Structure 1
């Protein structure tokens, strides 16, 4: 893993706040920054749907499915038929 040097300019108030956070968290600046970045990244991911996080919809999953599956009753019926077919194997 390549390490990059990061320089951050902080005003006096922010420096004091950082020192307080570091003392409270009992960590160093690098670890604190890594954790903050990881938390923010996870928050960004939380806004995405499961399908987006998994790379999108499968291309051929529904290619032979009826076109009216947007209706709940039709989906329920199709699921029952599918489970019966699996059970009867």
Structure 2
């Protein structure tokens, strides 16, 4: 349990929010605290969100495949 001292104006706003929304203080404050906490965390890169580098993607690829001429030759052989 955390006790917070609010000035009269803020306390009145809180009571109005609770009355209009028909919610408890916990229902109002918990999501706000969680959201703020998450906003303080560094954002994940797209690579992190997708699970990191693929480990076995090019495992069987021939050497030099990243060269344009080699990729073109490989595509021609396949199609």
Q: TM-score range by the shorter chain?
A: 0.5 to 0.7
Answer yes or no: is 1:37 the counterpart of 2:19: no
Shift of 1:34: 1.4
| 5+ residue gaps, structure 1 | 69-73
Report how many residues are paired: 71
Counterpart check, 1:9 vs 2:5: yes
**Normalised by the size of structure 2, how large is the TM-score?**
0.52
Equivalent residue runs for 1:60-75 within 5 Å: 60=55, 64=59, 66-67=65-66
How far apart, in 2, do the equivalents of 1:33 and 1:54 lie? Answer: 31
CA distance in 2, matches of 1:54, 1:31: 32
